[in-house]
Amino acid sequence: MVQSSPTSFRKIIWQRLIRNRMAMAGAAIVLTMFLLAFFSTFVPRDPGAIDIAHRLEPPSWQYPLGTDDLGRDVLTRILYGARISLLVGFVAVGIATMIGIVVGALAGYYGRWIDAVMMRFVDIMLCFPTFFLILAVIAFLEPSIWNIMIIIGLTSWMGVARLVRAEFLSLRERDFVQAARTLGASDSRIIFRHVLPNALSPVLVSATLGVAGAILTESALSFLGIGVQPPTPSWGNMLITGKQTLGTAWWMSAFPGLAILITVLGYNLLGEGIRDALDPRLKE
């Protein structure tokens, strides 16, 4: 029986992904947000520049998305806010993924009491509502973008740990792992060189969806006033600013909210598409 090579397997996954229109739409949104965040550095307007003479101006040719209560350009602030949201999303998910991989790998590979202790700790962490746990921790710390990223990461790794553990339990008794043990490979080499690369597929999906969750969490914290602090533009603190004038200046809330909606939708569509592409039950 001829087995598919890794190259052909990756090709099959890629073909599945590009045929998925929703996944491609999500990828286009994600790429667009990356480009907007990158090129926001070259925007001529200062996102913090106050111009009272042009405060609360509706969308126009001069200000495509209008101005806020201090005369600041809403479009410029949304572009700068994209950098903050993407930075929070990727750093927080990176922290959560690293912790989850280590915990899940150790629990799944060694099993027995190590698995029992680690999984009970995961269960305890899951008993606490994540958002309220974040609120409790932030209450004792100074609100800042770095604290937000670290706290979101430290409270979001449990799902990744469970996914990695499940994959390790399935893979640790495979023939290639037994062969590596027979050849005298160390546990660390078996874990990180042989088993982990074969267990990363669900982690990739979880990380993609996790970015959307981290962006939502940061926006919610900033909306409550305990996230990214003004004058640094963030989609969340732009929403809370717009709430004061929602009846007369709808654009101050509508456009930041739309940016959050589109970005989160893009990551969710891309994550779902990657999950479908990696599903071995799907036939060609």
**Residue whose pair of structure tokens reads 């602030």 in the numeric block:** 77
CA-CA distance, 224 to 284, in Å (whole number)? 48
Other CB atoms closer than 10 Å to residue 85's CB: what's the count? 27
Question: How far is residue 272's CA from residue 17's CA, in Å, rounded to a whole number?
Answer: 10
Question: What is this structure's pTM?
Answer: 0.85
What would the mean pLDDT of 182-201 be, rounded to a whole number?
82
Asked if 36 and 255 count as a contact pair (C-beta separation under 8 A), the reply is no
pLDDT of residue 180: 81
CA distances to 90, 161, 247 from 236, in Å: 17, 29, 19
Tell me the CA end-to-end span of the chain in Å, nearest whole number.
18
How far, in Å, CA of 100 to CA of 154, rounded? Answer: 10
Tokens of 64: 């495509």
Asked if pLDDT for residue 5 goes beyond 60, the answer is no
Assigned token pair, 122: 């995961």
- The phi and psi torsions of 73 (rounded to 5 degrees) equal -70, 120
pLDDT tens column, 108-142 = 888 889 889 999 999 988 888 878 888 888 778 77
pLDDT digits (tens, 9 = 90+) for 54-101: 888 899 898 899 898 888 999 999 999 899 888 988 999 999 999 999
Which neighbouring-strand residues pair with 99?
none
- Give the residue carrying structure tokens 């201090």: 70
Residue ranges of domains in the chain: 16-45+64-278
pLDDT reported for residue 282: 52
Binned at pLDDT 50, 70 and 90, residue 244 comes out as confident
3-class DSSP state of 73? strand
pLDDT of residue 9: 63
Rounded-to-integer distance, Cα 265 and Cα 29, Å: 8
The CATH superfamily assigned to 16-45+64-278 is MetI-like (1.10.3720.10)
Report pLDDT for 277.
82
What percent of the chain has a predicted confidence (pLDDT) above 90?
A: 26
Burial class (CB in 10 A: 0-12, 13-18, 19+), 164: buried
pLDDT for the residue numbered 25: 93
Q: Which residue from 130, 127, 136 is spatially nearest to 152, judged by alpha carbons? A: 130
The CA distance from 162 to 142, in Å, is 31
Q: Residue 280 has what pLDDT?
A: 56
Helix (H) or strand (E) holding 147: helix 145-154
- Token pair recorded at residue 214: 């981290």
Interval 152-179: pLDDT, tens: 898 889 999 999 998 888 888 788 888 8
The residue to which tokens 């990380």 are assigned: 207
Question: Are the CB atoms for 232 and 241 separated by under 8 Å?
Answer: no
Query: pLDDT band for position 1 (50/70/90)?
Result: very low
d(CA 190, CA 188): 5
Confidence tier at 6 by pLDDT (50, 70, 90): low
pLDDT of res. 3: 46
Coil, helix or strand at residue 119: helix
